[in-house]
Amino acid sequence: MAAAAFADLVSEIRQELATATEALLAVHEAGLDDIARFRDGDDAALCRLEGRLLGLLELCAFEDVIGQRLTQLSGAISPASLPASGVVKLENGPALRGQGLAQADIDDLLSTHDPRAVSD
């Protein structure tokens, strides 16, 4: 997969996530308003809330679309599709928690190093 196509796919995923998130938030806010109206005696608010909850189930279908896109990406970045040097960089990427240097070790190193000092 070319870098431009890869970037386009990532951009599509981000847009789909943003759209789905906005829709989910809007439904939740409207549902909270319906609950307040129901408490104030608006019996129809309960029916609206039920409809909104059913709509939330439909909105969750975005997960399937995102999953399909991520499957495309993971296929495109499989070790077989990367140059050997790219695989090595990925294999030696950031250390997992508990591996590598501790933050205290790094802080000690930086606090004892004088960047103005020049060694011969």
Q: How far apart are CA 9 and CA 3, in angstroms?
A: 10
- Give the torsion sign (CA, 63, 67, 73, 79): positive
Per the CB < 8 A criterion, the answer to whether 69 and 16 are in contact is yes
pLDDT tens-digit series, residues 46-95: 999 999 999 888 888 878 888 888 888 887 776 665 555 655 555 555 56
Residue 16: inside a domain, yes or no? yes
Residue 103: inside a domain, yes or no? no
Answer whether residue 13 shows pLDDT above 80.
yes
- What is the reported pTM? 0.53
**Structure token digits, residue 37:** 């109206």
Helix (H) or strand (E) holding 71: helix 62-76
Residue 61: inside a domain, yes or no? yes
What domain range is 50 assigned to? 3-84
Residue 56: inside a domain, yes or no? yes
pLDDT tens-digit series, residues 15-54: 888 998 899 999 999 999 999 999 999 999 999 999 999 9
- Number of structural domains the chain divides into: 1
Residue 90: inside a domain, yes or no? no
Residue 73: inside a domain, yes or no? yes
